[in-house]
A and B are shown apart, each in its own frame.
Chain A
Amino acid sequence: MEAASLNGVKVSKERDRTDRRVELLLGALASTILLLIAGMVIFVFLKGLPSFTHNGLAWFGSGGNVDDQLMNIFNSPANPDDYVYELRAWPLLYATALITLSAVILSTIFSVLSAIFIVEFAPLSIRRVLEPVVRLLAAVPSVIYGLIGILVIVPWVHHHLISEDRKASVAYVIQLDGTSILVGILILFVMICPIMIAIIVDALRAVPTNWTQGAAALGVNRWRAMWTVSVRAARPAIVAAAVLASARALGEAIMLSMVAGSVGFAPNPLDGFTFFLEPARPLASTIVDNAEGLSVVPFGQTMYAFAAILLVSSAFLSFGGWYTRRRLSKYTLSAR
């Protein structure tokens, strides 16, 4: 739509030039933002590069105690030639993936069911209270969840789920004190659920009434109509919600550093139930916990390497989400 030629109305040159200038100005601003973002990705990568190049692919592997390695990097000599870079980051990567995936999978199942409940089955009075509360919970800062976790749930787990025998069984590798991946996953689950529920509820509401009524006309009951028509139609939104929740979970630093133990340890699934009571520390928490060390050159570079991994993961996540949404929305409502 060119204002200058619209409906053949002649617009003065002067005015046309102002218009052009506004467009250029806004475009320049948008490009600046884009440059800033590109700069962020590039700078973080460049800064983290030495950590990757010194370790090669072994960076992603396991071996040794990651906390000791971080300590060595932190204490490396001041001479740039003697910088220590050796790091095997597997426990941190594993903790990130484990906590994020478990929380998101649990939360996806729970959120779809809760959204169905809110949209279709909840009595009106419950619905009226529940919806604003869910929206509020979605906005509660993570540090508040962390506070509840560390003051209420961690002590409870310590006193009720961890017996002396259990402590002794893994005492040779790790100390159990209640801060654990179990609490981390649980709090993360509670934290991301409201976000997902709010999105899925909106999507279920947006399903055309005719579709569910059509299903009803074919003699299908309320649950079936919901499950086979509405939920299927809302699949792109469910994927979008899961992607958003994963991004939040991936980047959650403070809360997990409070409740998940802050120990660079890879919980061992062979320990049975004790597995869930073992502590861990994801990448984001590692950066926050070591914020003071950023000025030590090799240590800072290691932290930027962690940040680069987080950036790549969240970029892949949004791309994967976009791709899945596009594929799903071929058959359903347009993706939003």
Chain B
Amino acid sequence: MTPPSVNPPLSAEEPAENPQPPKRRPVKVESSWSIMDRIGLGLAWAAGVTLCVIAGAIVIYMAYKGLQYVNWEMITTAPEASLDQSASGGFLDPILGTLLLTVIGILIAIPVGVAVAVWLTEYGRPSGLARAVESGVEIVAGTPSIVLAIFGLLIFQQSFMGLFSFTAEGGAVFGRSFITAGVMMSLVALPMVIGATREALNTIPRHVREASYALGKDKATTIRRVLLPSARSGIATGATLGMGRIAGDTAIVVILLGASMTITPEEGPGGLLRGTGSTLTSYVYNNSPAGEGNAPEKAYAAAFVLLLIVIVLNALVGLIGRRNKPQWN
């Protein structure tokens, strides 16, 4: 955003990016500061140290509890209804549910998000409509997922949506399935995909587009052959962030996935997608003291696996962000 400064370092105020620790001049020692400044400095240090302690405590505690309880058997067996914790099985189905739901959600979010982002940055006419779409996306980004969930229930329980879920004897549509939850989950990920893609497209300088036009390519070809490949890492970052949000969302799963313990496919074609299931988040919720299962050890173990998934996704974002970032100019 700002061009790097070409001035030599002047003083201790050299910014944070500087890898060398700043050399302080004697006149700059903190004891010479006014009392208000020293209080401020103290508060900043206190906040920083508290942050370190909280972050460390959460990471270490979860790692400790997770490693204590997680074992191979839990990951590879399906959950079973039992009051006895040793007989209630593992959480293979929730893991598969998380993966399936994330894949469905992101497979819908990527094409839609990229298309909207391309239209917003490259076309954007009429501008009134473009601004309306922009604020619409912002509204979705701010909408609590619980509201998205019950809105999803509202549409998918209409009788003409019966295709997507289980229909009861009397013709009542259940409205809960992998595909309905996935569609709503894609709305959770959509703002992130759109945001990251727009940012990536905006950083591509104008002359790149002009070079393509000069070679006789039209706008659609330019977008497909030049702009989208250059924006690939941006799109991937947005998609990975979106996957993190999908994997971590609980409200939509509890309301729209039916939260049956195991993955229960429906009869007929696409039965798996029309069936119900659970994810790691709903499994953790159900096995916490707040839920019906109340098996804290299993909840810890599942939370640990979920955390690992989030860590992997997070690491991917960092990796994609660093790798193959096109250098213009």
Contacts and interface: CB of A to CB of B under 8 A. Distances in A.
Interface of A: 1, 3-4, 6-7, 9, 11, 15-16, 18-19, 22-23, 26-27, 29-31, 33-34, 37-38, 40-41, 43-44, 47, 110, 113-114, 116-124, 126-127, 130, 132-137, 139-144, 146-148, 150-152, 190, 193, 197, 204-210, 212-213, 215-217, 221-225, 227, 243, 247, 250-254, 257-258, 262, 284, 287-288, 291, 294, 303-304, 307, 310-311, 314-315, 317-318
Contact of B288 (A26, A110, A134, A147): A147
Contacts of A118: 16, 48
Given A3-B213, A117-B44, A144-B284, A251 B147 contact: yes
Contact of A3 (B28, B125, B218): B218
A143 B248 contact: yes
Given A113-B47, A205-B16, A258-B285, A37 B139 contact: yes
Contact of A27 (B123, B284, B310): B123
Interface stretch (B130-138, B227-235, B268-276): B130-138
Q: Is the interface of B mostly helix, strand, loop or mixed?
A: helix
A193 B51 contact: yes
Nearest to B259: A291
Most buried by A among B48, B50, B144: B144
Given A40-B147, A258-B288, 9 more contacts: A18-B218, A110-B50, A117-B44, A142-B250, A146-B290, A210-B5, A250-B144, A254-B250, A318-B139
B13 A212 contact: yes
Nearest to B309: A141
B59 A307 contact: no
Interface stretch (B73-81, B85-93, B151-159): B151-159
B205 interface: no
B316 to A, nearest CB: 11
A291 B13 contact: no
A19 B220 contact: yes
B17 A205 contact: yes
A46 B120 CA distance: 30
B51 A134 contact: yes
B147 A311 contact: yes
Contacts of B318: 132, 135
B147 A114 contact: no
A252 B147 CA distance: 11
Given A258-B288, A315-B142, A147 B300 contact: yes
B51 A197 contact: yes
Interface string B232-249: 000000000100100111
23 contacts: A3-B222, A18-B220, A23-B123, A30-B130, A33-B112, A34-B136, A38-B136, A43-B154, A44-B151, A110-B51, A114-B44, A114-B48, A114-B51, A132-B318, A134-B55, A141-B248, A143-B288, A146-B288, A213-B13, A287-B146, A288-B146, A307-B147, A318-B138
Contacts, number: 308
A140 B307 contact: yes
Contacts of B263: none
A216 B12 contact: yes
Contacts of A139: 241, 244, 248, 310, 313-314
B201 interface: no
A209 B2 contact: yes
Contact of B45 (A16, A38, A117, A258): A117
Nearest to B3: A208
B83 interface: no
A251 B145 contact: yes
A141 B51 contact: no
A209 B21 contact: no
B306 interface: yes
A3 to B, nearest CB: 4
Interface string B102-146: 000000000010011011100101000110110011111111111
Contacts of A257: 290
Contact of B255 (A15, A38, A221, A291): A291
Going nearest first, the 10 A-B pairs with the smallest beta carbon separation are A251-B144, A141-B248, A117-B48, A216-B13, A113-B47, A26-B119, A22-B220, A314-B142, A209-B5, A254-B250
